Structure 1
């Protein structure tokens, strides 16, 4: 077992195989550096008007700094379920408490030469005023889907979120 270090890079994560079965543990920074497959939760947050919460990540983020994302979420901690992580991450990144449980939509493995993680994709309606974490979110807005569609080829999106969004659209959501 790897020793826990301070900060997000030192959080322990479950390392999983191609079937999403736990095969070990590592720190988040080790998982990234050694391309160890781990788990993430992506949550598409909508307001009551069905607009999508879109944000630009801060430039201090460990991965994909300064890019736009239409999902909130993040890495599952060791032993954490996708459902628990989806709610925890959505509340943390939106800066709210009392969200309803996000609805699970599908899972997929995001696998590139640089990164590999299983991704649980969720959706939630947020009727609360958002106060995103300044260390996570540099800019944010709730945008209509048509606006998000127009921006897909214009903005520099996080590639895993973009793939998840395209898969979501292909499912007719």
Structure 2
């Protein structure tokens, strides 16, 4: 009987010699974009970098891909880096638009899914933004403004990306979930 061996890798395969590169969640990137947009609205400036707190308390810095503002609202984009994880949201443009409001209101825009079934711990009919990212977004914007904001979270190609996930089977339609 022949000896079992591992198959040979193709010549074009790269062998990793170091540890895997870690990445960021959609929730972390949304929180960073929300803080950048809140800063832009408050100061009426273009924000290029922003730092936020992770749930662990560690602070991390993000480059802001684009940022624009008017006296009424501001928009910031942070591009998701999934590290070496084969994540369908890698490279997604987490886009947050903020405007002044009476209280903090979190809404889903284009490409962020809507919850259509009970059982996910989220309000049916509400945005598919889990509790940890909700808290992170709230903390991030409260670090820079002390009044209410309407926070509109979008992912321009989120609906197409969601087709490669199990979101529809879970009852999340119209886009990706904002997780972790």
Q: So what's the TM-score if we normalise by structure 1?
A: 0.29
Larger-Rg structure? 2
Q: So what's the TM-score if we normalise by structure 2?
A: 0.28
Q: By percentage of residues, which structure has more strand?
A: 1
